[in-house]
Structure 1
Amino acid sequence: MLNAPTTSPTPTPTPTAPGGLPLIGHGLRLVRDPLPFITSLRAHGRVVRIRIGPTPAYVVTDPALTRQVLVTDAADFPKGGRYYDALRVFLGDGVATVTDGDTHLRNRRLMQPMFSKAHIAERGNAMIDQVRTTVGAWPAAEPRDMFAGMNEITLATFLVAVFGADLPAGLEGEFTVLMPEIMKGTIRQVILPPWITRLPLPANRAHAERVARLRTLIDRAIDHHADVTAPGSAAAAGVSGAEGCPHAARARSRQQTGLFETLLGAEGRLGRRQLQDEAITLLAGAIETTGTTLAWALYEIAGNPAVERRLREELASVCGDRPLRYDDLDRLPYARRVLRETIRKYGPSWMVTRTAARDTVLGGHLIPEGADVVWSPYLHQHDASYFPDPDTFDPDRWEADRAAAARGAFLAFGDGRRKCIGENLAWAELHIILATVLQVWPRLQLTSRPPRPQAVITVKPDALAMEFHPAPND
C-alpha cells in the first residue's frame, strides 16, 4: 500500500500587536517608549506583526527563531529592511550594510585580516598609551558626562588602532561632534514613515549635510594615512631608522600605521568610495556601541561596591603597581564577565532588520516576500527564560557552569555569516578602557540621578554624570 503524500501544515495567522494607529501604525510607540514596546511583544507570540507607518513588519521574539533567521535560513532572510536602508544613508555599502552575495563575501575577506587577534595585538600597547594619557588628564572630582566622555575616549582609541597615532589635530573633535547627531537622525529615519524622511524638512537637510561632512573627514583621514605610510615619506624614513634595529622598526611601524594599512593595500580592488564606506562603518560601530557599553559599565560598577572590589582586586593581582599591558587582558576574566553582563543588560542594539527573500514560513507563521523581519538583541537578552531576573546586573551569570544555557539568547554581535566583523577589536577596546580607568582612578562616584535607558541606534543613558577621585593620600 502506498503512503499518502505529505503536505506542509497550513501557516498559523500571525498575531498583530495592539495599539496600532491609522497611517503611522505602531510608529508612535516606537518613538515614545520603544524598549517597553519591543519587550512587550514577547507576550503575543514567537512572531508578532507590527506596522511602521502603513508597512507591516514581523518581530521575532524567540531567540531560537532569530538564530534560524541569521544562521540556518540566512539565504531566505538577507540583510535589509528599514534599519539598514537608514544606515546606508551614511554607511554606504560597508561590510555591515552591503547586501548578501559575492560583493559582501569579497569585501569581508579583504577586511578580515584587520581584525585577527594577532593583528590587533600589534596595536594594543599604543591603544593603552592613548587611553592612559586621556584618562590621566581628567580633572579630579569634576563631574563628567560619561556617555559623551566614553564615546570620546573610544573614538580616540579607535583612531589610534585604525589610522595610527598621528592624525591631524581637529579630526577627532569633529568626529566626536558629528557621530551622535548622525545616529539620532538615522534612528529617526528608521521609525518614521518614509514619506516624512523624504520631505525637505530642516531635520532631513541637516542629516544629509552631516553625512556629507563625515565623508569629507574620512577622506582626509585616508589621505593622511596613505601619505604617512607611503615609501619615502618622512614618517616612514623615521621609522626605518628606529633604534637601528629592524625588529624595533617593524614593531614601531605597525603601531604608527594602524589597522587601516591592510585596506589601503587593497584600494585597487575596493576603490575610494568603498574605502570610505568601510572606514565609516568601522567608525560608527566602534564609537556608538563600545562607548555606550563603557558608560553603562561604569554606572553599574559605581552602584555595586562588591563588583568594583572584585574588579580592582583582579587588576591588582595581574598588574601590581605597573600600568596595564596588552598581554594582561586574557588574565582579567572577571572584567570580561562584567563587560559581557553590561552588553546583555543594555543591548547595545534594540532593533535590527532583515528582509524576506521569498514567501517563508517561520515558527509556523507565513512571512511574505519583501517583508521586514525585525529582531532585537535587547528583547532576547531580557528574556527571563534564558536570563532569570533579567533587570538585575549579575556578572556571575557568565561563569562557565551558568552561562551555557544563556548563550543561545546572547546576540549582541549577531550570528552567522553576518556576525560583527569587529568583535575582537570591540573586546580589546572595552577591556583596555575599563581597566585603565580603574587603574588611574581609585574611586568613582555617580553624581547624577540614575540614568534611564534611551533607545537611539544603541540603548544609551539619557543622563549620566560621574566624578573620579585619586587615592586619599595622593
Structure 2
Amino acid sequence: MNDSPAATAPTPAAPGRLPLIGHAHRLARDPLPFFTSLRRHGSVVRINIGPTPAYVVTDPALTRRVLVTDAVHFTKGGKIIDALRMFFGDGLATVADGDTHLRNRRLMQPMFNKAHIATRGDAMIDQVRSMVGAWRAGEARDVYADMNDITLAAFLVALFGTDLPGHLQDEFTALMPAIMKGTIRQTVLPSWITRLPLPANRAHTARVARLRALIDQAIDHRTRAAADGAAEPAGCPHAAGQQAPQEGLFTTLLTAEDQLTRQQLQDEAITLLTGAIETTGTTLAWTLYEITRHPGIEERLRAELAAVCQDGPLRYEDLDRLPYARRVLQEAVRKYGPAWMVTRTATQDVDLGGHRIPAGADVVWSPYLHQHDPASFPDPEVFDPDRWTPERASATRGSFLAFGDGRRKCIGENFAWSELQIILATVLQLWPRFDLTSRPPRPQAVVTVKPDAMTMTFRQAVDGTRPVDGGPTPGRAR
C-alpha cells in the first residue's frame, strides 16, 4: 500500500476554497451539486472542511477498494461518524472496527435474516394498515412526517413485539423527530459549539437520556413478557379470539449466549431505530412523490398489486411476487440517497488510485454522487424503475452503494426492503388516489436527502369505497 512517492500524483483540489472555512460554504449552501461537480476534477478530489482537508472519492471502483478490498486501511471514522457516536454510542453503525464490531455484528445477524424477518411480517402489515387506514380523506398531509411515523411504528412492532405498551410507542414517536434534528445539528456544527452548555445542547442531551430510559423500559417489558411466557403451563390456551403476542427481533439479543451489557443494548437499539426511521421514511416520501409525477408507473404498480393480492389485503409472502414495486423503490433509493456523504479515516499513508492519502485523513464517499454518475446511470435525473430489470441492472451494480459494501455493509438491508414494500403496497391498496398539494419538493441534504416540503391529499374512489377492506391479514382465500 505504501508505494514510493513517484507512484503518486498530486491530488486535485476542488475550486472555490475560502480562507478559514474552506469549502464549508458550498457544503452548507448547495452540497449535492457541489459533490456531483467533483467528478469533473478527478477520481479523488481534495476538499477542505474548515482548515482540515478531506479526500472525496468520485470513482465507484476506488470506493469499493475503500470499503472492501483495502478496508483494513480505512477505518470507520471521520467528522460525521464522530458526531453520530455522541448519540449512538458504540452501536453497530459507529463502533470502531475490531473485535467488538465483529462480535456485535455476529450476535445481531440472525435478527435480520429473511426467515426471521418473515415471522414479524404480518404484525408489521397490521400496524401499517391501522395507521394508513386512519387518514382522513381529502386532508392535506405532511407525507415526510407520516412516512417517518409509520416506519417507526412498524419497526417498533418488529423490534420489541406486538405487545409493547401504548404509552411507550407514543413517547418513542413523539421523541424521535426532535432527537433526529438535534443529531443532525451535532454533525454540521463545529465540535466546540456542541460541547458548550447552550440551551439546544442541553435539550438534546436530555432527550437522548430520555430515549435511553424508554429503551430500558422496552427491554424490561420484553424480558418480563418472556419470563411470563416461559412460566405459562404447556398447552394453556389464550382467551377466545386472541392471538399470543409476538416477540420482537430484539429478543435475539436478549437471549444470546454471549450477552451484551445494558449500555450496549441501548446503543444498538438507538442505532436500529434511527436507521429505520430516517432512511426508510425518506425513501417512501420520495417514492410517493415520483408516483404522483408518473401516472404510467402508478398504473403498473396498482395492476401488479391487484394481480397478486386479488381482492384481499397484502400478506407478507406476497412481497416476493411484486418485482415492479421493488424496482420502483430501488430507483427511489438510487435517485435520492439515502445517505449522501459517508466518511472513513485512513489508518496509514495509502495510495488510492495514484493519489497519496495521508494517515489520519478523512476519506469521503458519496452514494448520491455514484448513483448520479451518467456513466453508470444514463439520464440520472430521470426516474426510471426499468433500469433495474435483470437485463439492465447487471451493468450498474458496481455503482449502487446505498447500503454500503464490505464488512460494514448495512445489516438491516433485508428488513429495509421488506418494510418499504409493505408500506408502499398498503398505501396503494387503501388509497386509490393521492395528489401532491404543495409545490414540488426540493432535495435537502442533511443526513439523508430529504424533501424540504411535501404535502399530499389521499382520496377514496368515486363511489366513496376503497378497493380493499381493512380486514385482518391472515386467512385470505386464493
Q: Which residue is equivalent to 2:90? A: 93
Identity %: 71
8 Å CA contact 2:253–2:259 kept in 1: the answer is no
Q: Tell me the number of residue pairs that the alignment of Structure 1 and Structure 2 aligns.
A: 462
* Secondary structure in structure 2 of the residue aligned to 1:90: helix
Letter of the 1:338 counterpart:
V
What TM-score do the two structures reach when normalised by structure 2? 0.93
CA deviations over 1:252-303 (Å, ceiling 9, x no partner): 65x6111111011138621100000111111000011001100110111111
Change over 3 Å in CA distance of 1:268–1:397 after alignment to 2: closer
Q: CA deviation at 1:173?
A: 3.0
Equivalent in 205, 208, 214 of residue 208 of structure 1: 205
Q: CA deviation at 1:9?
A: 4.1
For structure 1, the 5+ residue unaligned runs are 1-5
Change over 3 Å in CA distance of 1:448–1:208 after alignment to 2: same
Change over 3 Å in CA distance of 1:365–1:134 after alignment to 2: same
Change over 3 Å in CA distance of 1:469–1:24 after alignment to 2: same
Change over 3 Å in CA distance of 1:401–1:201 after alignment to 2: same
> Aligned runs of 1:303-342 on 2, under 5 Å?
303-342=293-332
Output the CA distance in 2 between the equivalents of 1:273 and 1:464: 37
Quote the RMSD (CA, aligned, Å): 2.1
2:52 counterpart of 1:55:
yes
CA deviations over 1:153-191 (Å, ceiling 9, x no partner): 001100111101122223233323333333333333333
What TM-score do the two structures reach when normalised by structure 1? 0.93
Output the CA distance in 2 between the equivalents of 1:158 and 1:454: 25
Q: CA deviation at 1:239?
A: 9.9
2:29 counterpart of 1:32:
yes
> Aligned runs of 1:342-421 on 2, under 5 Å?
342-421=332-411
* Secondary structure in structure 1 of the residue aligned to 2:120: helix
Output the CA distance in 2 between the equivalents of 1:451 and 1:202: 31
Change over 3 Å in CA distance of 1:116–1:182 after alignment to 2: same
Change over 3 Å in CA distance of 1:37–1:7 after alignment to 2: closer
Equivalent in 15, 20, 38 of residue 18 of structure 1: 15
Q: Which residue is equivalent to 2:130? A: 133
* Secondary structure in structure 1 of the residue aligned to 2:435: strand
* Secondary structure in structure 1 of the residue aligned to 2:450: strand
> Aligned runs of 1:244-255 on 2, under 5 Å?
none
Output the CA distance in 2 between the equivalents of 1:243 and 1:218: 28
Change over 3 Å in CA distance of 1:88–1:139 after alignment to 2: same
Letter of the 2:342 counterpart:
V
8 Å CA contact 1:86–1:189 kept in 2: the answer is yes
* Secondary structure in structure 2 of the residue aligned to 1:269: coil
Q: Which residue is equivalent to 2:196? A: 199
Letter of the 2:24 counterpart:
G
- Tell me whether 16-25 or 109-118 shows the greater mean CA deviation: 16-25
Output the CA distance in 1 between the equivalents of 2:291 and 2:38: 31
For structure 2, the 5+ residue unaligned runs are 466-478
Change over 3 Å in CA distance of 1:361–1:162 after alignment to 2: same
Letter of the 1:13 counterpart:
P
Equivalent in 114, 118, 124 of residue 115 of structure 2: 118
Output the CA distance in 2 between the equivalents of 1:36 and 1:191: 18
8 Å CA contact 1:155–1:172 kept in 2: the answer is no
Q: Which residue is equivalent to 1:3? A: none
Letter of the 1:56 counterpart:
P
Output the CA distance in 2 between the equivalents of 1:446 and 1:67: 38
Equivalent in 436, 445, 450 of residue 446 of structure 1: 436
Output the CA distance in 1 between the equivalents of 2:235 and 2:443: 49
Change over 3 Å in CA distance of 1:194–1:242 after alignment to 2: same
2:231 counterpart of 1:241:
no
Q: CA deviation at 1:128?
A: 0.6
Q: CA deviation at 1:342?
A: 0.3
8 Å CA contact 1:384–1:390 kept in 2: the answer is yes
Output the CA distance in 1 between the equivalents of 2:4 and 2:432: 67
8 Å CA contact 1:349–1:377 kept in 2: the answer is yes
- Tell me whether 51-60 or 105-114 shows the greater mean CA deviation: 51-60
Q: CA deviation at 1:8?
A: 7.0
Q: CA deviation at 1:431?
A: 0.6
CA deviations over 1:75-130 (Å, ceiling 9, x no partner): 00011111111111111111111111111111101000100100010111111111
Letter of the 2:236 counterpart:
G
Output the CA distance in 2 between the equivalents of 1:175 and 1:31: 30
Q: Which residue is equivalent to 2:170? A: 173
CA deviations over 1:181-227 (Å, ceiling 9, x no partner): 33333333333333333333333223222222221221121111112
Change over 3 Å in CA distance of 1:186–1:56 after alignment to 2: farther
Output the CA distance in 2 between the equivalents of 1:379 and 1:60: 9
> Aligned runs of 1:215-294 on 2, under 5 Å?
215-231=212-228, 237=232, 241-242=236-237, 256-266=246-256, 269-294=259-284
Output the CA distance in 2 between the equivalents of 1:22 and 1:315: 56
Q: Which residue is equivalent to 2:449? A: 459
Output the CA distance in 2 between the equivalents of 1:362 and 1:9: 14
Output the CA distance in 1 between the equivalents of 2:401 and 2:147: 23
8 Å CA contact 2:22–2:48 kept in 1: the answer is yes
8 Å CA contact 1:297–1:339 kept in 2: the answer is yes
8 Å CA contact 2:58–2:370 kept in 1: the answer is yes
Q: CA deviation at 1:43?
A: 1.4
Q: CA deviation at 1:65?
A: 0.6
Change over 3 Å in CA distance of 1:232–1:243 after alignment to 2: closer
8 Å CA contact 2:153–2:173 kept in 1: the answer is no
Output the CA distance in 2 between the equivalents of 1:192 and 1:29: 15
Q: CA deviation at 1:30?
A: 1.3
